Structure 1
């Protein structure tokens, strides 16, 4: 089941905040009046008696929920890598940090951009919502930006008519390791000899406000070659660091901590 955590967090924050606000504006006076009528005099407003448990709970949790909502909606959000489509750059079980501010400030849940900060660039590792369902988080590398002509043929990537340079490094069965030079970004990538899917070959022109995405594990990646472009409104943010690795029930490891290209 795909749980919409941002929606749940937003509703909890709004709910606890609303209960607290209603208490401050309307309910609290009545409790204080009852205390005064009974001849009691609490030292401070915070020491008032008979505060309902629900209100106490909301008053305690609202500031925490609000801070978490602001941090993960506008600044940084953690994600865990679920598949091997970005090998060798990202491994299954890597925990990454995603900069939510890099491509603009967006409203939580609605994902409406309210402040433009920057645009995705070729070579960025980007988290986005899967265009097919608009809900599942995907992570791939930005290959094409608006206006680019992309061609992929016989395991060779062409951008605007030029083959993207790549250098052979080693055979790591079943993979063949290369370093690809994508503009200013140099990154490792995999090919699997004899496993190229002919359906991956094609040509595309990237429309305005959309992006062409591919995994670094080129022969084992469900990406724009198969389902098309990523619209700007589905962008979540830019992945910038691995901070922990934990696969299954293993103990967490920090040996892979590093910044990403």
Structure 2
């Protein structure tokens, strides 16, 4: 009987699934694009956060009725690098007696001005009006009586600040004027609560 040699079955061959390398490439591209977005976002957010704006929470009642406890504010830090603080600006600054604390108050008098508090009125004298004028605050503090009797002439880069709640505010009437270097920035936006969101000029 003739011997018949049977051929062994061939081993199955495996070919890489078409598109496998393409999928890996897409994953790498996705990771790379995500990293680029993160890096670019940080490059924008970090300078904005540390050099342009800063968040701030109101603490206490010294700025009522215009600002209340726990309101969330955004502070503009760039404006005073380009220009000068103005009367009426609402600012955040370092408390001179404890620079670790930050206060919010309103600028009342500017460098080289003389401010006098008497009988509930605020009188300001400067080079333009040497005889002085009575500060009108009715647009933001109607029917407000300012306690205190004092008179002071400010030096260069000094500002006299007060809280809007004049009967419950630790301000320049107690600790004197603040220096320009103490000022962090001006209040730009009230972001919380939602029903009081405001952009300040």
Q: TM-score, normalised by structure 2?
A: 0.72
Q: Give how far 1:155 is off.
A: 1.7
Q: Give how far 1:72 is off.
A: 2.0
1:170-189 equivalent positions in 2, closer than 5 A: 180-181=137-138, 186-188=139-141
1:173-212 equivalent positions in 2, closer than 5 A: 180-181=137-138, 186-188=139-141, 191=144, 196=147, 200-212=148-160
Tell me the distance in 1 between the aligned counterparts of 2:143 and 2:95: 23
Single out whichever of 62-71 and 78-87 deviates more from structure 2: 62-71
Q: Which runs of 5+ in 2 are unaligned?
A: 1-23, 29-37, 126-131
Is 2:43 aligned against 1:86? no
Task: Note the aligned Cα RMSD (angstroms).
Answer: 2.7
Per-residue displacement from partner, 1:93-134 (whole Å, max 9, x unpaired)? Answer: 111111010101xxxxxxxxxxxx011000000111111112
Q: Which runs of 5+ in 1 are unaligned?
A: 1-42, 48-60, 105-116, 166-179, 246-253
Per-residue displacement from partner, 1:219-252 (whole Å, max 9, x unpaired)? Answer: 111000110111111110010221112xxxxxxx
Q: Give how far 1:144 is off.
A: 0.8
Is 2:56 aligned against 1:75? no
Q: Give how far 1:189 is off.
A: 5.4
Provide closer, same or farther for how the CA distance between residues 189 and 82 of structure 1 changes in structure 2, counting only shifts above 3 A: farther
Tell me the distance in 1 between the aligned counterparts of 2:73 and 2:106: 14
Question: Whose relative contact order is higher, 1 or 2, with alpha carbons under 8 Å and at least 6 apart?
Answer: 2
Selected match of 1:162 from 133, 151, 156: 133
Larger C-alpha radius of gyration, 1 or 2? 2
Helix, strand or coil at the partner of 1:255: helix
Residue 226 of structure 1 corresponds to 174
Provide closer, same or farther for how the CA distance between residues 189 and 76 of structure 1 changes in structure 2, counting only shifts above 3 A: farther
1:1-261 equivalent positions in 2, closer than 5 A: 67-104=44-81, 117-160=82-125, 161-165=132-136, 180-181=137-138, 186-188=139-141, 191=144, 196=147, 200-245=148-193, 254-260=194-200
Provide closer, same or farther for how the CA distance between residues 83 and 236 of structure 1 changes in structure 2, counting only shifts above 3 A: same
Q: TM-score, normalised by structure 1?
A: 0.56
